[in-house]
């Protein structure tokens, strides 16, 4: 079981008119804090875990592709990749079609650690959604995915 992080007094306060963007930001910070605490014993940061999960589903991505999918800058992704290579969790090899592009893949050790991290993430999700029935969880996930698609596509007239 992952220990729960304590909310600060300011985080417990609810502004008079809570905007959706503000609520989502608070949720993001809380999830990040919980992930940091839960992943620390496994030796990973949330960005490293995100990178491993992206590679599990999309093996062979370049640094730029990984950075876009993990929502970090290419420079930050270079640091993440270097640390994951040093731990033996990923490998990089030149692409068969373009030798200047390095394709990144999980190692067996990286796959095993990602599965362990998934259990930490599942515990956090279960605590966060305690009392929310499965149909509402599915609706929430669908709504979040729709928001992500819209914001990634840009907004009309923007």
Domain map (residue ranges) of the chain: 16-153
Q: Give the model's pLDDT for residue 156.
A: 59
Whole-number pLDDT of residue 158: 37
pLDDT computed for residue 111 by the predictor: 98
Could you report the average pLDDT of every consecutive run of 10 residues in the chain (158 residues)?
58 67 93 97 96 94 88 92 97 86 93 98 97 96 93 66
How much is the pTM?
Answer: 0.80
Structure tokens, 91: 């490998």
Determine if residue 60 is left, alpha or beta; phi over 0 gives left, psi from -120 to 50 gives alpha, anything else beta: left
Domain 16-153 is of which CATH architecture? Orthogonal Bundle (1.10)
Gyration radius of the chain's alpha carbons: 18
Distance CA 93, CA 105 (A): 9
Q: How many CB atoms lie within 10 A of CB 35?
A: 22
| pLDDT at residue 71, rounded to an integer | 84
Q: Give the pLDDT confidence score for residue 10 in this predicted structure.
A: 59
């Amino acid at each position: 079981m992952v220990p729960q992080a304590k909310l600060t007094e300011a985080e417990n306060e609810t502004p008079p008119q809570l905007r959706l963007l503000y609520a989502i930001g608070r949720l993001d910070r809380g999830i990040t804090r919980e992930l940091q605490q839960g992943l620390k014993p496994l030796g990973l940061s949330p960005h490293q875990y995100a990178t491993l999960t992206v590679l599990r589903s999309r093996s062979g991505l370049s640094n730029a592709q990984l950075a876009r999918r993990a929502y970090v800058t290419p420079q930050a992704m270079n640091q993440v990749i270097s640390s994951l290579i040093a731990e033996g969790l990923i490998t990089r090899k030149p692409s068969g079609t373009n030798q200047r592009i390095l394709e990144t893949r999980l190692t067996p050790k990286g796959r095993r650690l990602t599965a362990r991290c998934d259990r930490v993430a599942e515990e956090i999700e279960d605590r966060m959604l305690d009392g929310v029935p499965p149909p509402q969880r599915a609706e929430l996930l669908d709504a979040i995915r729709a928001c992500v698609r819209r914001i990634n596509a840009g907004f009309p007239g923007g």
